[in-house]
Amino acid sequence: MILSEDEWARVREQAEAEYPAECCGVLLTRADAEPHRLLLPCKNVQNELHAKDPQRHPRDARTAYFIDPKDLLAIGRREGQGYGVDVIYHSHIDAGAYFSATDKQNALMNGEPFYPAATYVVVSVMEGKVADIRAFVWTPAARDFVECPM
């Protein structure tokens, strides 16, 4: 199970509520503590970045996401408590639920994934409604993110 029914319902709700901006968030898990699973919807600050420096950030939130650094810090603090980043999700606006070249580029550091054990979930939102959801995991043999069953 990548996302429970409740988690999936919350992601769907967030994705539709934030349309036409891409939504984003993470699922943190920890086996030895309550709660075992912690869904953290995050703020996409891509519009702010684009408004501040359009040359450096040519895309707005309709075609890109950038998790708010405050949320990154909160994720980091949870990691410090023993949680792991299990799922990283975002939506595509009026586009398919594929793992794009941009997604891949941003998920790698010097050719290695930032979070090799995480599942990347992409939600397609068409005209304000969720149309598709797909999951991708880093596959070392392929040196790529490969679709996996939801």
Interaction residues for another protein, span 65-124 (CB under 8 A): 65-67, 69, 72-73, 75-77, 79-80, 84-85, 88, 90, 92-95, 98, 100-103, 106-107, 109-110, 112, 114-115
How many angstroms separate the CA atoms of 150 and 122, rounded? 11
- If phi > 0 it is left, if psi is from -120 to 50 it is alpha, else beta; for residue 32 that is alpha
How many angstroms separate the CA atoms of 66 and 49, rounded? 9
Helix (H) or strand (E) segment spanning residue 5:
helix 5-18
Interaction residues for another protein, span 5-64 (CB under 8 A): 22, 24, 26, 42, 46, 56, 58-60, 62-64
How many angstroms separate the CA atoms of 98 and 119, rounded? 13
Residues near another protein (CB under 8 A) are 22, 24, 26, 42, 46, 56, 58-60, 62-67, 69, 72-73, 75-77, 79-80, 84-85, 88, 90, 92-95, 98, 100-103, 106-107, 109-110, 112, 114-115
